Amino acid sequence: MNSTKPYLLRSIYEWCIDSDFTPFITVVANPDLGIPMESEKDGEIVFNISYTAVKNLVIDNDTISFEARFNGVSKKLELPMDMVKGIFAKEVNQGIAFQEELKSVDIKNRTTKDTEASNTPNKPTKKKRKPQLRIVK
């Protein structure tokens, strides 16, 4: 199953552009990605990805890639989608933050005991009934 993250990123980006807002993304700081670490704060870096700030922006299902200038030097970045923590409009501080995605292996390894343990003991369980259709005149 495809992740919803790239679709949500593209939609918030389009909303920002249509509303004349400046779209920013927050990314996990990682020196292996070629991200300038002097901009790092609290383990993340914030990028302005507006069409005036970057060139050749591509948000596909696996990566976000663009060219940007850092201290006057142009650099092409390719950021894996799982490194993106959120996207927001600078002017109104609205957007979306993403939770860490569960890997499909983790979901498959969950047992019914894990699920039952997370339910509150005071919550009664409802019996599921088969849906019925009736003719309304």
Q: Is the pTM of this model over 0.85?
A: no
pLDDT at res. 101:
59
Exposed, middle or buried by CB within 10 Å (0-12, 13-18, 19+), for 35?
Answer: buried
| 86/8 Cα distance (integer angstroms) | 10
pLDDT in tens, the chain (137 residues): 888 999 999 999 999 999 999 999 999 988 887 777 788 889 899 999 999 999 999 999 999 999 998 888 888 999 999 999 999 999 999 999 998 754 444 444 444 444 444 444 455 555 566 666 666 66
Please report, as a single letter, which amino acid is at residue 71: N
Residue-range domains of the chain with CATH: 5-107 (2.30.30.220)
- Which of these, 96, 71, 73, lies nearest to 86 by C-alpha position? 96
E-strand stretches of the chain: 23-28, 44-48, 55-59, 63-70, 73-80, 84-89, 94-97
Give yes or no for a contact between 81 and 3, defined as CB atoms under 8 angstroms apart. Answer: yes
Q: What is the pLDDT of residue 109?
A: 43
Helix (H/G/I), strand (E/B), else coil: 114: helix
Q: How far apart are CA 101 and CA 26, in angstroms?
A: 16
